[in-house]
Amino acid sequence: MIAILDIIATFAFALVGARIAADRRMDYGGILLIATVASITGGTLRNLFLGERPIWLQQPWYFLAILLAVLITITLRITKPVGKVVLGMDTLGLAVATVSGVAYSLDHYAPSYAALILGVISAVAGSLLRDVLCQVEPVLLHRETIGTACAVGALVYVLIEPYGLANGLIALISGAVIVLVRSISIARGWNLPKVK
């Protein structure tokens, strides 16, 4: 299940990264680089913190998901700012990456609090680095409660996991919480308080 979730998240993040790079008028090499950075950074950091090799070193077909996302972006020649469909893909990627990160961490005997943190890192690290490289203000740091949505979903996973529910059901519930929190924050313009 974790491998499938990771591939889904990889594709979603790569597609969003490629679209943002295309919107910034980068060449094909730049689009491929941004898509790769956006999609594998979070999972790589998660594994390194757990003392494990990054999954893409062991299973190189993850790059097929990245290449597919880049080819879709280049073929369709879409350079418009990210719209609702791509934003939905990004939200799906956040949910899947968070759930995958928490599940992977717990499977590797990380304590619950560490699994929560690593789940959030898995989800947001790639998008943060993507925005920095694309020279746009990181969404994570100023709107849409991305980190908060991932943290709430990760907390739900950690809290209900000890009750022995099926892994798929836990993942579905936690992922749905993330999608719900982020969707509401986008619709209502919610964000965490800022220093005035």
For residue 196, is it within any domain? Answer: no
The range of the structural domain enclosing residue 149 comes to 2-188
- The answer for residues whose C-beta is within 8 angstroms of residue 172's C-beta and 6 or more apart is none
Q: How confident is residue 179, by pLDDT bands cut at 50, 70 and 90?
A: very high
For residue 57, is it within any domain? Answer: yes
pLDDT at 54 over 70: yes
pLDDT at 141 over 80: no
Average pLDDT over residues 130-148: 84
For residue 179, is it within any domain? Answer: yes
For residue 110, is it within any domain? Answer: yes
**50 against 6, higher pLDDT:** 50
Range name among 96-100, 140-144, 191-195 with the lowest pLDDT average: 140-144
- What's the pLDDT at 156? 97
pLDDT at 98 over 90: yes
Q: Which of 2-16, 77-91, 120-134 has the highest mean pLDDT?
A: 120-134
What is the C-alpha to C-alpha distance for residues 20 and 149, in angstroms, rounded to an integer? 22
- What's the pLDDT at 5? 76
- What's the pLDDT at 9? 85
Q: How confident is residue 105, by pLDDT bands cut at 50, 70 and 90?
A: very high
- What's the pLDDT at 162? 92
- What's the pLDDT at 81? 59
For residue 106, is it within any domain? Answer: yes
For residue 195, is it within any domain? Answer: no
- What's the pLDDT at 190? 80
CB contact burial 46-75 (16+ within 10 A = b; e otherwise): bbebbeeebbbeeeeebbebbebbbeebee
For residue 194, is it within any domain? Answer: no
How many domains does one find in the chain? Answer: 1
